[in-house]
């Protein structure tokens, strides 16, 4: 199998929606006052307890190589957190610390899927999945998400797509880009289907601490405790506002962790030492921070959903998790990409067309509400004005 990136790499991978970000940056540089709804990162500072712990580690000279799979202190904190949030305690050799959730996704897919194997995942999707699956030459078997199902991938849809060819099911709940959340019955039924067909499950749970209205997160790992087929990918970027720290992890069967450990020893040696100390502090002392940002996100969610429903031609359901909304724009009669471009130019509001996340995003836009209430109100005002001109 050819996994070289020397040749056809750009044809194998997807194209992330970076051109919109670049356009907004350029317009900002030209002096336009842009409202930014395209960026998927919390706008809060990292909690002080986390920064202090990392600073202390630096001052104490904790600046050398550490074990490839992560420092024991962080692995133990992750073990405790998994027990608290998913209801089972993985062994330490089922846990591997990595520089972000993305490497967890990449290594998890890489360790289980070969060229020609089939992978089931959602459309619209987080573009990294599509890109990685394409890069590995695996077969893409996409499940369409529908607004009337609140953008949940239903067990019936999974059952219809499953075959003996299916090697891996990718789950993402809460989901980027729609904010859709799988309920307990969905998760249970999908985990059972995977077991029946002997497929792996990679569950991207990066937004699992970001749920609204008192919901609980359910992981498919309840069935095998990540001992046979389930892999959980999670990290610190979103819930602890640590995107630039690059810290995440994967929990998986031991033999998979062993393979990832060998590969990561070759390509990365280890995850940055003092950053991991910050991660320990986030897991031990970060809950009040998570609670406080979720209270803010809940307010913003209400403001943006209410506002979008007042924009001519738009309708928007409440997302159940994460910090994205996926308004339906089909009544405008415009295509997603044309509308996103019009809005950027006319309203100076940067957002993404639903199609940046796959064909099923046609008829939708994606906005991140990781920005202040003032920006949300101003953005909505501009959107209304721009849409009144064309509707």
Ligand X SMILES: Cc1ncc(COP(=O)(O)O)c(C=O)c1O
**DSSP bridge partners of 203:** 171, 232
Binding mask 41-60 for ligand X (x = CB under 6 A): --------------------
- Give 281 or 332: the residue with its C-beta nearer to ligand X: 281
- Give 304 or 380: the residue with its C-beta nearer to ligand X: 304
**DSSP bridge partners of 36:** 350
Q: Residue 119 and residue 95: Cα distance in Å, rounded?
A: 23
Q: How many CA atoms lie within 13 A of 358 on its CB side?
A: 22
Site for ligand X in 299-358 (CB under 6 A): none
CB of 293 to ligand X, least distance (A): 16
Q: Which residue is nearest to ligand X (CB)?
A: 100
> 204 φ, ψ to 5°?
-85, 105
342: helix, coil or strand?
Answer: helix
Candidate segments 63-71, 73-81, 95-103, 350-358, binder of ligand X by CB under 6 A:
95-103
CB of 373 to ligand X, least distance (A): 22
Dihedral (CA of 154, 123, 180, 315) sign:
negative
- Sequence-distant (6+) residues with CB within 8 A of 2 are 115, 137
- Give 35 or 101: the residue with its C-beta nearer to ligand X: 101
Q: Residue 70 and residue 77: Cα distance in Å, rounded?
A: 11
| 16 near ligand X, rule: CB under 6 A | no
328: helix, coil or strand?
Answer: strand
| 237 near ligand X, rule: CB under 6 A | yes
> Residue 343 is encoded by which pair of tokens?
């809005």
| 245 near ligand X, rule: CB under 6 A | no
Binding mask 113-152 for ligand X (x = CB under 6 A): -------------x--------------------------
| 204 near ligand X, rule: CB under 6 A | yes
| 101 near ligand X, rule: CB under 6 A | yes
| 248 near ligand X, rule: CB under 6 A | yes
Q: Which of 138, 206, 325, 383 binds ligand X (CB under 6 A)?
A: 206
Q: How many CA atoms lie within 13 A of 373 on its CB side?
A: 11
Site for ligand X in 161-190 (CB under 6 A): 172, 176
CB of 248 to ligand X, least distance (A): 4
Give burial (CB, 10 Å; 0-12/13-18/19+) of 71.
Answer: buried
**DSSP bridge partners of 249:** 97, 234
> Residue 361 is encoded by which pair of tokens?
């995003």
- Give 201 or 206: the residue with its C-beta nearer to ligand X: 206
- State the number of binding residues for ligand X (CB under 6 A): 13
Footprint on this chain of ligand X (rule: CB under 6 A):
40, 100-102, 126, 172, 176, 204, 206, 235, 237, 243, 248
């Amino acid at each position: 199998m050819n996994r070289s990136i020397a040749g056809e790499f750009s044809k194998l991978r997807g194209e992330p929606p970076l051109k919109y970000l670049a356009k907004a940056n350029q317009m900002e540089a030209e002096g336009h006052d842009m409202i930014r709804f395209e960026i998927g990162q919390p706008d809060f500072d990292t909690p002080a307890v986390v920064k202090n712990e990392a600073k202390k580690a630096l001052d104490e000279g904790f600046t050398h190589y550490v074990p490839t799979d992560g420092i024991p202190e962080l692995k133990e904190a992750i073990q405790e957190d998994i027990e608290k949030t998913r209801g089972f305690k993985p062994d330490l050799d089922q846990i591997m610390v990595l520089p972000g959730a993305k490497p967890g996704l990449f290594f998890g897919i890489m360790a289980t899927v070969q060229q020609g194997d089939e992978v089931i995942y959602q459309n619209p999707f987080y573009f990294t999945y599509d890109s990685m699956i394409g890069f590995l030459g695996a077969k893409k078997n996409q499940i369409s998400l529908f607004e009337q199902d609140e953008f949940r991938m239903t067990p019936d849809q999974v059952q219809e797509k499953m075959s003996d060819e299916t090697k891996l099911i990718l789950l993402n709940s809460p989901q980027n880009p729609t904010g859709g959340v799988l309920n307990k019955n969905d998760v249970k039924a999908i985990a059972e289907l995977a077991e029946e067909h002997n497929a792996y499950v990679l569950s991207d749970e990066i937004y699992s601490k970001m749920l609204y209205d008192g919901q609980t997160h359910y992981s498919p790992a309840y069935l095998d405790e990540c001992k046979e087929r389930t892999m959980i990918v999670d990290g610190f970027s979103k819930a602890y506002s640590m995107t630039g720290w690059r810290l995440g992890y994967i929990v998986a069967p031991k033999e998979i962790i062993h393979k990832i450990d060998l590969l990561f020893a070759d390509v990365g040696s280890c995850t940055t030492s003092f950053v991991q100390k910050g991660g320990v502090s986030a897991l031990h002392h970060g809950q009040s921070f998570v609670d406080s940002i979720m209270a803010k996100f809940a307010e913003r969610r209400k403001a943006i959903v209410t506002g979008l429903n007042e924009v001519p031609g738009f309708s928007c359901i409440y997302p159940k998790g994460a910090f994205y909304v996926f308004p339906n724009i089909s009544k405008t009669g415009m295509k997603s990409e044309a509308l996103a471009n019009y809005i950027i130019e006319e309203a100076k509001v940067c957002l993404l067309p639903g199609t940046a996340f796959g064909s099923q995003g046609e008829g939708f836009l994606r906005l991140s509400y990781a920005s202040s209430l003032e920006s949300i109100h101003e953005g909505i005002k501009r959107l209304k004005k721009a849409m009144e001109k064309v509707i």
